[in-house]
Structure 1
Amino acid sequence: MESAIPLHLETQRTRHKRVPDDYQPPYPSFVARYKPAVSRVVMVYFGVQYRGVAPSAATDALKEIAALFAAENGPPHWDRAHYVDQSGYENVVSVAYWDDVARFDAWFAPAREAWTGRQREGVGTFIEGLRPAVARHETLFSSLGRPEGVAVIAEGMSGEVQEHAYWGGMRDRIPLSQTDAMAPGGVPELVRDGARLRVKAHDNLCLIRSGQDWSDTEASERKLYLDDVEPVLREGMDFLRDDGLGIGCYANRYMNVLAADGSVSEKSYGQSWWKSLAALERWAESHPTHVKIFGAAMKYLSTLGPSAKLRLYHEVTVAAADEQFFEYRGCHSKTGMLAAVETVSA
């Protein structure tokens, strides 16, 4: 049994784990392992937003960002997903990951100018990015063999880890949690730069991407997931989207991952911005919407046991204020972190 925290990031704890040292989790889970030389990762969400059928400007924008990703210093991995937001807008989000900040910095300035530097007819664009130190970040996977998100750029995966299957495991997997409460500080602010709107959030903002992959399931398991689990998950995701601000969730997207040809795959993920890790933990541990999700998932997994083919994963980051970037152009006022600023100023 390994610790989720890599050996080179282990330190003398001043804050204790939620479980004793001899805790044995009831089922296996795994985390991504980066090369020790990787001190920071980069994760950037490039969104395009429109109403109804995609206008040509949206299609062109998606081709442009894909070409930029393929250019020199582009990301080693990216993927694309779609969702309809609370205001009825279509959003297509291309998420890119780097493990080399210098390469990202060399790439980003012209890419940013291409993405939010000009207005596109009938289309909004946004960039939401973090560059966290690896000590501020954790991942978790229910199975090996198919990394997702930031884990694709990792060197590999761990063996079975101890810190999971209990409330508080998410925090215990973040190396910084050994010594730091990671409490939020400050309030989001809006900065206007011509037609661009930037949001300066605050210290220890939290991002989670939490995904599901049912592409390996066979008929009976797929029906069980789509009939009994997915609707409950969607209900919880919709609550966070529409009413999350009251519990510290600034924005939530429940997205369908798109295949390379643009078709909808059998993968989805929720992606949300939180005031703090503590706010995310409170929702996960005690809010009726997540308690219901957890109950449906446990019933599903206990019914199928080890034969379950559903793959689950997440990545969680608690970012320092200087590790964040949020920029929007032509987007409605409840897009992403703009919703946080709207609430503060209301």
Structure 2
Amino acid sequence: MELDPRPVQYKGLQWLLIFATLTPLASVFLYEWSQPLERQAPYLLNATLAVLLWGLNRRAHRRKRFQLAMPIEVQGLLLGLAVSTVVVARLTGNDGGPILPVFSAYVMFVFASVLGLHSADRALLMCLAPPTLVLLWPSGVLWWQELAVLVITLYLGFAARRQINLWMRMSQAQLRQNKRLLEKFRTLSNQDPLTGLGNRRCFEQRLAQSVSEAKRSKNALSLILLDVDYFKRYNDHFGHQAGDECLRTVAQILRLSSRRQSDTLARIGGEEFVLLLPNTDKRGAQRLAEEIQSRLLQADLDHPQSGISKRVTLSQGIAQWHPGLSGDALMHQADKAMYESKLAGRNTISAA
């Protein structure tokens, strides 16, 4: 599972816009307070643009989570152009003489851009390109000093970006691993280890959900409770290993007979199984029970100690949900019907 880039881009861009608001305002209060308004204008316009973009993004975010007011590349370019005006103002300050501290501000801007836009390559390049080109324009600073500062700054900035992206990939890998472990844990906690069907916990959860859904939709809901006849005698005669294999065969027959994904198949006891059938009435459950009985007969599993047949058989009880019936009551009716099958001589199907 890959991380959604929108939260990272939204939060990173908003953080960068806060930096782009506070930095020019701090420059005005610290360095340009005594200067004419036209000298302060680039700083104030830069801060105004950043605040405006921040507010528009917040408004878009309220309409749709992590939505941006405009593409992140466009916002990055606007921010880069705005910062370029500040760089020009600094380079042309002091009667046209260059001001070397602008490189310190440029270094800070590069790292702020990398931290804010590291997940959007084109936005990062569009944001950094305008001020970088301005600094490369001929000025009073020696060209090799300019080039050295720019190369070192950009190298450190993009190295930081690579490191951040590496951390993100590691976090994504860890997230995928945690998701796989969680899914495996959920599967194991809801699965019978012998047959691979759902266990009692899984069945009880699905029963409660299915009853609630039936109450809302007024659709039919049926349940089949199955018990392997004289299974203790089978175990005593063939051994527990053969008994386990017999249960696995019965489980496979249930899978082949119930082919809908909405059905729930579970083993809820030693030799007891259950089928929960949404959108199925008692007649449909009866047909499915007869198919299971037929498939089991075709499987031809020897059971010389059965007393009613030379083959493994099932006693089945069917119950259909109706309004006012709880999940436990539905289960009780199916259990009562299965008990009637046993009283009727086993290897039969009874409906409540």
Q: Which structure shows the higher strand fraction?
A: 1
Would you tell me which structure has more helix in proportion to its own residues? 2
TM-score, length-normalised on structure 1? 0.30
So what's the TM-score if we normalise by structure 2? 0.29
Greater RCO (CA < 8 Å, at least 6 residues apart): 1
